[in-house]
Amino acid sequence: MGMDEAAVRYTNAVLIDDEQQTHLGDFLLHSDGSWAASKGDEDVVQNLDGSKKLITRSFQNWHTHLPMQLNARDFSDGLPLQEWLEKSIFPTEMNLTKEYARIGALASAVEMIKTGSTFACDMYHFPEAIVSALNEAGVRGIICGPQTQWPPREGGDDGSVRKELDSQLASNRPENKVQYGVATHAVYTCDEDTLLGGKELAEKHDAHLSIHISETRKEVADCFKQTGMYPVEYLDSIDYFIPDKTICAHGSWVKKSEMRTMAARKTILAHCPSSNMKLACGGTASLPAYKQAGVEVRLGTDGPASSGSGLDMAHEARMSCLVQRHDHWDASALLAKEAFAMATTGSQDWAVWNLNDIRMSPYGKDNERHISNLIYNGGQCLDLWVDGIPLMQSGKVTTIDEDKLLETFNDAVDQYYSL
């Protein structure tokens, strides 16, 4: 067996494994994402003091619009979804350029790193700018680009955007940390040709396909008026879903029969509770019902503008626990440990949290309270590892100059809004 030369060792740490078992002692974190107890004599690239530190899998964010950090939080606060899109977001996005998208995505990548996330499934314009930002930051992603040029002015006509996405998708390699995918925004913004054109492109390249589904009652009512079907029924009737590859965001206003269809088509649901509440959608995905139907559910923050709470996945997991219990009148509807599992599904990366922090105490005599503390109370991520590469150490982002970026980002936002 060959020696893993890129392993790092943490001594005297707490580690929570994939089964949420807690281990105490000295650990090797290998560059392939696996871990082992350390005997103390292995060759390592770094030997780190792990005392008062908690090692967990990193968060995975399954629904984002990373460049929308440009429109984050105060922007159009108070508008419901449809008005927010039509009066605020779409007109502003007319001025979006590749460079603004890159700067917004970089700012989001920094926020992801600081809050312990190493993966985003994104949907936005100028996917190549987002891919470049994530590569620079060192985080993983599936970046789904639209196949139509809408709404930014920059970028040419529909045909050229589709051709460009086609060649971007052709550049996907299994070893790339960031992959291209295809976005079809929603049934109320894409006609049948656009939806199926997106599917065709994704299938051609064995790529992911992403869509917003049944986010509001209006979307469902409008779809029913036009097609006589609910959104999932309509999409299934045109044979839209690609098994294991389709990511449906929200799924808030969905019938149980539609959930069974989603399970049969092996779609992945991205539950985005903060966004649903901030935009007053009046409901969010019913996790007990999805579970019963057998749908794979993951967690997403949605865009930093729509969630109102940025890209902090511990925060999002807490929101999910609260809204599931509130909606179902059931205090056991989603436990912190279940929310943590949902928020870290499939992670091969490691986040190291500060236990020398009142928010993470008390941790219990058997170290049994760490996950609940992290989810309910938040914590400070100190180190973040992807493929043996540190994206942050001791709370300092190592891949991007954060101070410089903050300046560039604030200047860019000022310019963007004065256009």
Contact residues for Zn ion (CB under 5 A)? Answer: 302
Measured CA to CA, the distance from residue 162 to residue 165 in angstroms comes to 5
Lookup: tokens for 188 = 């109320």
Residue number, nearest CB to Zn ion: 302
Q: What is the DSSP letter of 86?
A: I
Per DSSP, 58 falls in state: P
- Beta-carbon contacts of residue 154 (< 8 Å; ≥ 6 apart): 96, 97, 98
- CB closer to Zn ion out of 4 and 302: 302
Nearest to 311 by CA among 140, 117, 179, 139: 117
Minimum CB separation from Zn ion for residue 89, in Å?
11
CB of 45 to Zn ion, least distance (A): 38
Q: Closest CB to Zn ion among 63 and 245?
A: 63
Give the number of residues written for the chain: 419
- Residue whose CB is less far from Zn ion, 85 or 382: 85
Instruction: Output 179 or 274, the one with its CB closest to Zn ion.
Output: 274
d(C-alpha 268, C-alpha 121), whole Å:
12
User: In angstroms, what is the minimal distance from the CB of 65 to Zn ion?
Assistant: 6
The CA distance from 117 to 138, in Å, is 11
Q: Least distance (Å) from Zn ion to the CB of residue 240?
A: 18
68: tokens are 């929308």
Peptide bond just before 231 cis, omega within 30 deg: no
Residue 132, H or E segment: helix 127-137
d(CA 19, CA 28): 18
Which residue's CB is nearer to Zn ion, number 93 or number 302? 302
Nearer residue to Zn ion within complex by CB, 89 or 397: 89
Residue 147 · residue 162 · CB < 8 Å: yes
* Strand ranges for 124-245 from DSSP E: 140-146, 178-186, 209-213
Nearest approach, Cβ of residue 303 and Zn ion (Å)? 6
Supply the minimum distance, in Å, between the C-beta of residue 272 and Zn ion. Answer: 7
Find all residues with CB under 8 Å of 159, minimum gap 6, and list them. none
Q: Which is nearer to Zn ion, 276 or 373 (CB)?
A: 276
Structure tokens at 176: 């790339």
User: Residue 225: which residues within 8 A CB-CB, separation 6 or more?
Assistant: none
Q: Between 61 and 344, name the residue whose CB sits nearer to Zn ion.
A: 61
Rounded to a whole number of angstroms, the minimum distance from the CB of residue 70 to Zn ion is 15
Using alpha carbons, list the distances in angstroms from residue 188 to 155, 215, 324, 378.
23, 11, 27, 36
Smallest separation (angstroms) from Zn ion to the CB of 121: 10
Strand 8-16, strand 46-49: pairing: parallel
What single DSSP character describes residue 381?
E
Task: Report in angstroms how near the CB of residue 85 gets to Zn ion at its nearest.
Answer: 10
- Minimum gap (Å) between residue 366 Cβ and Zn ion: 40
**Complex with Zn ion: residue 272 or 339, whichever CB lies closer:** 272
Residue with smaller CB distance to Zn ion, 48 or 211: 211
